[in-house]
Structure 1
Amino acid sequence: MQQFDLIIVGGGLAGASLATALRDTRLRIALVDNQPPRAAAGWDARIYAISPVNAAFLEAIGAWKHLDASRMAPIRAMQIAGDAGGALAFSAFDTGVSELGWIIESSLMACELWESAKRQGNLTLFCPASPAQLEFRHDAAILQLGDGTVLSAKLLVGADGRDSWVRQAAGLAAINTPYGEKGVVANFSTEKPHRNIAYQWFRDDGVLAYLPLPGNRISIVWSTPDENADALCALAPEQLCDRVAEAGSRILGGLELLTPAVAFPLRLMRVPQTVAPRLALVGDAGHGIHPLSGHGINLGFQDAKELAALLAATQPWQDIGDERLLQRYQRARKEETFLMQTTTDGLRRLFREATPGLRTIRNMGLNLTNGLPFIKNVLVRYALGAL
């Protein structure tokens, strides 16, 4: 049996960032994953909007400076359109910052975090490897891998995604609410420059976002009912380009497909209990939100930051797997996670509801907010992580 202080199951963005954030601690860490990340061929269709507070976290753990700046695009402004004339606009200039966030490929961050983890003197990688059996004893978590290797640690962290094996093996409940929607993602080159503006349209057939990539390129996320998502993915490239351009009011002119459209099912997932004796969940293993806010991985990075700070501050005599200690992590993350889940779910419901008169009211709300600089500043400062 190999002894560690901490076992992290899942080497994705949340798990790898947690490991890297603990690089200068006394903790002996095991990181388990079934395969290392791979750089995308061309442009990765899976992208994230990284808030400034999480860019600062990535900088603090040494990853940000190694990211390829030529593959990252700053967001200078954001324009939101309702489904009946409502509009809301944010700009970095008006807020007094240089950018509202950055659009970055998932694989770009994943590969850099993985390389950082591989260089850590206090970390042992088990990859390729998969968890097979999990047992919690009063003084340790015991994890057996598929090849028979047995690991022991004071604390085990589940960072293995929304269908978390760890969460299920530990018996922690997850309340899933399917949306009956899929998120369609694809990348395009554009006829007109996007000027680093992110666009979002609340439409009758879902929510469409244009997110700027370097050069005249964008990535889209179209959250739409299952049937429409499947129909979009079945279109020929030229038809898809025309459909996406038309849905975006041809604001960037014609489009040319760079990566095929891919759809993934959407659901709200609440996990009432994200810690237990010798166990903590981070990232998508502990929560799931609608992608219209782009906050999913931002929540995951903040999970990693909070848990890393808690563990790094412990004394050698403290038990890092003590549930009383881990409850501090759960309390610290509960409010932001609940707020983002409730807000994104509420917005989705508001713009999917067909009640007579509601369309007018919700679009008036966008226009009213757009005319109130103080309220706009509060909203954007929260998105930036400045509140």
Structure 2
Amino acid sequence: MQYDLVIVGGGLAGLSLACALRETRLKIALVEPLPAPARPEGWDVRVYAVTPANAGFLQRIGIWKHLDGTRIAPIHAMRVFGDAGARLDFSAYESGLEELGWIVESSLMACELWENAKRQGNVTVFRGVAPAALEVRPEAVALGLADGRTLGAKLVVGADGRDSWVRGAAGLAAEDRPYSEMGVVANFACAKAHRHIARQWFRHDGVLAWLPLPGERISMVWSTPDEHARTLLSLPEAALCSRVSAAGNDELGPLALLTPPAAFPLRLLRVPQTIAPRLALIGDAAHGIHPLSGHGINLGFQDARALAGLLAAAPEWQDLGGERLLARYRRARKEETVLMQTATHMLHELFHETLPGLGALRNAGLSLTNRLPWIKDLCVRYAVGAL
């Protein structure tokens, strides 16, 4: 079976790439080993902060307008607290923006992306079958599936997550550094109005974030050492609510648990080469960052946007898997990825370092930044994709 493009991985990045190519001449195969996702009952514990730039991308590819608006919460402001009294405030209004971003459930986006991909006339979905062999030839690439079928294409895109099979099959090296931390997630009802303010605390036991959900609800992400994470997961419901509320200085009053807590390991993933002959990586297959920035999925969407733009603009005679086109994709995405990985990692290390005097210095830095509106505005505009 011959295609122009084979995408391996039906997560948010891979699906958004397929949907972004819906109006092109390209014949696309989408391979996903796992069964179709199901919407959880209640609220999904896995949520993302989607920037205005990426909301615009999802709008252009026909996704955003179909999402249930009653399940999306805008972020109008953000408060960041240091571990020794410092504070940094960001405001959409002060930066001349309508929102800093939106909090959206992962499964809400995934289900809508899947529905759009399945309706696309130029996409063939191979669901529930894993890739088994990758053979790169001078003029094309062949992807063997576990059921014996072979898909031929000019280009294979690995969108299959941090433990990417495609990346391994292509022999692309990856620096995979565990943080020895887990991200503990859960949703809560709160007694006080969150007023669409995202809150983040840098604490001695990790980074705690409260993200606004519709109504008087929040989604918690507590990035914390493994031992503390296991303690949080083992707490009875009332004790967990009390612990989380106290950790956030009881800013929203008593909390009530809406979803059982879950946890996932945190890793820094650097991939020096995100392309190879007739192959490109996007999303978590290409990079992984600490969730304290909230930008993991935003990097993935921007990977998909950049690659889709190059593929859509390529004339019919151009080789989609050729070195020139893939090199342009790598250059387009390298700067933002490296900058975000480096900044996030350095911030994580800064608030975990216990050298004498460093605590006062980092908190002074937060307070100083909070008194410099032009620096705050620059940070906000870069983070939301307005620069």
Which TM-score band (shorter chain)? over 0.9
Secondary structure in 2 matching 1:78: strand
Q: Which residue of structure 1 aligns with residue 7 of structure 2?
A: 8
1:219-264 CA-to-partner distances (Å, cap 9, x unmatched) read 0110001100011011111111000000000000001111111111
Q: Letter of the aligned partner of 1:206 in structure 2?
A: G
Question: How far apart in 2 are the matches of 1:195 and 1:80?
Answer: 15
2:49 corresponds to 1:49? yes
Question: How far apart in 1 are the matches of 2:378 and 2:103?
Answer: 22
Question: How far apart in 2 are the matches of 1:164 and 1:359?
Answer: 38
Question: How far apart in 1 are the matches of 2:40 and 2:310?
Answer: 34
Q: Which residue of structure 1 aligns with residue 193 of structure 2?
A: 193
1:113 Cα deviation (Å)? Answer: 0.6
Secondary structure in 2 matching 1:144: strand
Q: Which residue of structure 2 aligns with residue 231 of structure 1?
A: 231
Q: Which residue of structure 2 aligns with residue 115 of structure 1?
A: 115
Q: Which residue of structure 2 aligns with residue 369 of structure 1?
A: 369
Q: Which residue of structure 2 aligns with residue 144 of structure 1?
A: 144
Q: Which residue of structure 2 aligns with residue 281 of structure 1?
A: 281
Q: Which residue of structure 2 aligns with residue 80 of structure 1?
A: 80
Q: Letter of the aligned partner of 1:11 in structure 2?
A: G
Q: Which residue of structure 2 aligns with residue 335 of structure 1?
A: 335
Q: Letter of the aligned partner of 2:27 in structure 1?
A: R
Give runs of aligned pairs for residues 161-180 of structure 1, distance below 5 A: 161-180=161-180
Question: How far apart in 2 are the matches of 1:197 and 1:86?
Answer: 18
1:38-90 CA-to-partner distances (Å, cap 9, x unmatched) read 21211000000000000000000000000000000000100000000110001
Give runs of aligned pairs for residues 281-300 of structure 1, distance below 5 A: 281-300=281-300
Q: Letter of the aligned partner of 2:45 in structure 1?
A: A
Q: Which residue of structure 1 aligns with residue 358 of structure 2?
A: 358
Please give the TM-score of this superposition, normalised by the length of structure 1.
0.99
Please give the TM-score of this superposition, normalised by the length of structure 2.
0.99
1:176 Cα deviation (Å)? Answer: 1.0
Q: Which residue of structure 1 aligns with residue 19 of structure 2?
A: 20
1:384 Cα deviation (Å)? Answer: 1.0
Question: How far apart in 2 are the matches of 1:133 and 1:54?
Answer: 33
Secondary structure in 2 matching 1:8: strand
Q: Letter of the aligned partner of 2:53 in structure 1?
A: V
Q: Which residue of structure 1 aligns with residue 318 of structure 2?
A: 318
Give runs of aligned pairs for residues 34-45 of structure 1, distance below 5 A: 34=33, 35-45=35-45
Q: Letter of the aligned partner of 2:329 in structure 1?
A: Y
Secondary structure in 1 matching 2:18: helix
Secondary structure in 2 matching 1:352: coil
Q: Which residue of structure 2 aligns with residue 155 of structure 1?
A: 155
2:14 corresponds to 1:30? no
1:333 Cα deviation (Å)? Answer: 0.2
Give runs of aligned pairs for residues 193-212 of structure 1, distance below 5 A: 193-212=193-212
Secondary structure in 2 matching 1:27: coil
Question: How far apart in 1 are the matches of 2:221 and 2:140?
Answer: 42
Q: Which residue of structure 1 aligns with residue 248 of structure 2?
A: 248
1:105-135 CA-to-partner distances (Å, cap 9, x unmatched) read 0000000011110111111011121111111
Give runs of aligned pairs for residues 94-133 of structure 1, distance below 5 A: 94-133=94-133
1:305-357 CA-to-partner distances (Å, cap 9, x unmatched) read 00000000111111000122101100110000000000000000000000111
Q: Letter of the aligned partner of 1:31 in structure 2?
A: L
Question: How far apart in 1 are the matches of 2:152 and 2:247?
Answer: 53
1:137-159 CA-to-partner distances (Å, cap 9, x unmatched) read 11111111111111000000000
Q: Letter of the aligned partner of 1:268 in structure 2?
A: L
Secondary structure in 2 matching 1:215: coil
CA RMSD for the aligned pairs?
0.6
Secondary structure in 2 matching 1:125: strand
Q: Letter of the aligned partner of 2:18 in structure 1?
A: A
Question: How far apart in 2 are the matches of 1:176 and 1:16?
Answer: 24
Q: Letter of the aligned partner of 1:349 in structure 2?
A: E
1:37 Cα deviation (Å)? Answer: 2.1
Task: Give me the identity figure in percent.
Answer: 67
Secondary structure in 2 matching 1:359: helix
Q: Structure 1 stretch 36-45 or stretch 213-222: which is displaced more?
A: 36-45
1:250-289 CA-to-partner distances (Å, cap 9, x unmatched) read 0000011111111111111100000011100000000000
Question: How far apart in 1 are the matches of 2:258 and 2:364?
Answer: 37
Question: How far apart in 2 are the matches of 1:138 and 1:85?
Answer: 60
The alignment covers a number of residue pairs equal to 386
Secondary structure in 2 matching 1:3: coil
Question: How far apart in 2 are the matches of 1:135 and 1:46?
Answer: 35
Q: Letter of the aligned partner of 2:293 in structure 1?
A: S
1:375 Cα deviation (Å)? Answer: 0.4
* Gap regions ≥5 residues in structure 2: none
Question: How far apart in 2 are the matches of 1:239 and 1:271?
Answer: 40
* Gap regions ≥5 residues in structure 1: none
Give runs of aligned pairs for residues 56-71 of structure 1, distance below 5 A: 56-71=56-71
Secondary structure in 1 matching 2:25: coil
Q: Letter of the aligned partner of 2:98 in structure 1?
A: S
